[in-house]
Homo-oligomer: A and B are copies of this chain.
Amino acid sequence: MTIHDVAAAAGVSISTASKALNNTGRMGAETRERVKRIAGEIGFRPNALARGLLSKRSFTIGLLTNDTYGRFTLPVMAGISEALVDHGVSVFLCAIEDDPALGQIHVDAMLDKQVDGIIASGKRLDRRLPVDLSSLPVPVVYAFTEGTPNSVTLRSDDGQGARLAVEWLAKLGRHRIAHITGPEDFFSVRERASAYREVAGDAEPVLYGIWAESWGHEAVGSIWDRPGEKPDAVFCGNDQIARGVVDALRERGVRVPEDVSVVGFDNWEILAAQTRPPLTSIDMGLKELGREAGLTVLALAEGRPVEPGVRKLPCRLVVRQSCGGMSPTE
């Protein structure tokens, strides 16, 4: 089913058929309608390859990621797809592990296929993908991964997210707020910790560890075993740690949320909702991040100007039951 068939069936030339279908050119209204009707009847759909060859636009972009579990990439991907499907753009997903060679293969394959742009994503804000995207013939947007100097980079505002969490705890009347978090060499860990300090002061030390439940357990042990007053709230670096914290507290007979409020980070639905009690958590808004990234790369592909630099998107507090108290709108 090519445009030839449409033209033949409508008794017009190919050029007329094309113009009719694209609402361009001059022609009689009934001719246009007839061509359109016939195209619909025989189920004509234009070949995107041929169209792309001419227009230099493939309506295709690539998403490059090294996030194997997809915990971060999946929401980003969903946002991108959601934003771009209306524009007829499809997305190549390329998981490149941490392998530079594999990354290069995928980038080359995408360029061969004339993608209109590339979105680079990852599992960590302060690490680069193992492949250089700085001088590609197509626009590149970095989302949730570190970009090159003059690039467009989108990331979550972890400081604001942390502030949100701690202020929420404060609003609930908690004032001895501990912070149990991940490895200090993560930029986002430092950013969250410093926002935490701003709001909570330094009554409690920040406990750095690893991104695991076991660390949440262990940290609760070290805090509750030491003498002196105990915290009445814990702000955790991610939901896994929070889960460990909640479990450890319950095992010690400390009630959550009655005695201690706990806030997580990431709002990893499948974990946060299964914890007992379900975790109040900070959502980084990765889907919105993806949506923005999609629209941005599209803008660049269409030649619209986008000012370079790092753009931080706000986090959101998702209230469940691990803090007790009021609803978030009060």
Which residues from chain A sit less than 8 Å from chain B, CB to CB? 45-50, 52-53, 58-60, 62, 68-71, 74, 77-78, 81, 85, 88, 90-95, 102, 105-106, 108-114, 212-214, 240, 247, 269-270, 274, 276
Q: Are A77 and B94 in contact (CB under 8 A)?
A: no
Q: Are B68 and A58 in contact (CB under 8 A)?
A: no
Known A49-B113, A114-B47, A114-B49; contact A78-B68, beta-carbon cutoff 8 A: yes
- Closest chain B residue to A69 by CB distance? B270
Could you pull out 7 A-B pairs where Cβ atoms are within 8 angstroms? A47-B112, A49-B52, A85-B105, A85-B106, A90-B94, A90-B113, A247-B247
Q: How far is the CA of A102 from the CA of B85 in the complex (A)?
A: 9
Known A53-B47, A85-B105, A240-B274; contact A90-B74, beta-carbon cutoff 8 A: no
State how many copies of this chain the complex holds: 2
CB distance from A184 to the nearest CB of B (A): 21
Q: Are A113 and B60 in contact (CB under 8 A)?
A: yes
CB distance from A253 to the nearest CB of B (A): 12
- Closest chain B residue to A102 by CB distance? B85
Partner of A78, one of B91, B95, B109: B95
- Closest chain B residue to A111 by CB distance? B45
Partner of A81, one of B52, B59, B94, B213: B94
Other than the given A49-B58, A81-B95, A214-B274, 19 more pairs (CB < 8 A) read A45-B108, A45-B112, A47-B112, A48-B112, A48-B114, A49-B49, A49-B53, A49-B113, A50-B53, A58-B113, A69-B269, A69-B270, A70-B70, A77-B93, A85-B105, A90-B92, A91-B93, A92-B92, A92-B93
